[in-house]
Amino acid sequence: MRLLAVVAASLLAHAACAQNAATLFEQAQRLEHGEGVVRDLSQAAALYCRAARLGAPAAQYALGWMYANGRGVPHDDGVAWRLFALAAEQGDAAGERMQALLPAAPGVALPSCMSPDPALELDLAFPIPDYNAATPQLLALVDRLAPEYEIEPALALAVIAVESGFNRTAVSPKDARGLMQLIPATASRFCVRDAFNPEQNLRGGLAYLRWLLARYSGDVTLATAAYNAGEQAVDQYGGVPPYDETRAYVRRIGKLYGKAMHPIAAAAPERCMHQMAIRARR
């Protein structure tokens, strides 16, 4: 089955740090220059910083350039010098040139986004789920439904794994139900009559996930943070809310999916999709 290969690739993706850094850098470039996406300098800087933290010299240089020019981040020559110095230490010629042009600032702190991730400590409390719990029937259902909503099956499966551990009858303390853990309000919003019906649950969850990906321009971290904590919380904090559960949640999905960005589709209407519910009841 095609999805089985996707699952295997997703489980290995989080170990490939160099490839992940390259993907982050590529997406940051697209956001910085508005190539196929809405130009967003602050999000570009955030992605550059994540790649820089993984040790990518090109990202360290690019983030240094943004600090040197106040693009998406406050202008700070000291921070820029530190970042150029990091790139230069790895043999980046452009970083070495820019470092020489700025006053030395070895005592200036790097951006906070390059500090060790406190969420690392949450991995023991929130382990990665076991994909062996997914039945062939569920894999086939995800493989069939996810493309209808222009969602990559690997992302859909990652959300299901973290939300319910592939348990179709799961119920959370907040009354979130089924495979994609739909609370009653979200189920009603996307016309799910029976949240324990696997197809209806997946259709409702996929519709909501697609809407969130469109809202956050394909940023998987923001979209999944909103799936967990609500888009209002993400908007209020300007990013992932400072909740341990949400931080662990997006980290686990990131490990399983292995991509920072998802192809962006037009958002489905944020309303009850009656034709979807009718199909699901057949």
Question: Which residues form the catalytic set?
Answer: 163
For the CA atoms of the chain, what is the radius of gyration? 20
CB-count exposure of residue 121 (10 Å: 0-12, 13-18, 19+): exposed
The answer to whether 240 and 225 have CB atoms below 8 angstroms apart is yes
Rounded Cα distance between 245 and 10, Å, is 22
Residue 177: φ, ψ to 5°: -130, 150
| Token representation of residue 181 | 């853990």
In the block, tokens 């034709």 appear at 275
Sign, CA torsion 265/247/42/62 = negative
Q: Rounded to 5 degrees, what angle do the CA atoms 110, 54, 126 make?
A: 105
- Please report the DSSP string for 14-76 in residue order: TT-HHHHHHHHHHHHHHHHHTSSS---HHHHHHHHHHHHHTT-HHHHHHHHHHHHHTSSS---
With b for 16 or more beta-carbon neighbours within 10 A and e for fewer, the 51-84 pattern comes to: bbbbebbbbbbbbbbbbbeebbbeebbbbbbbbb
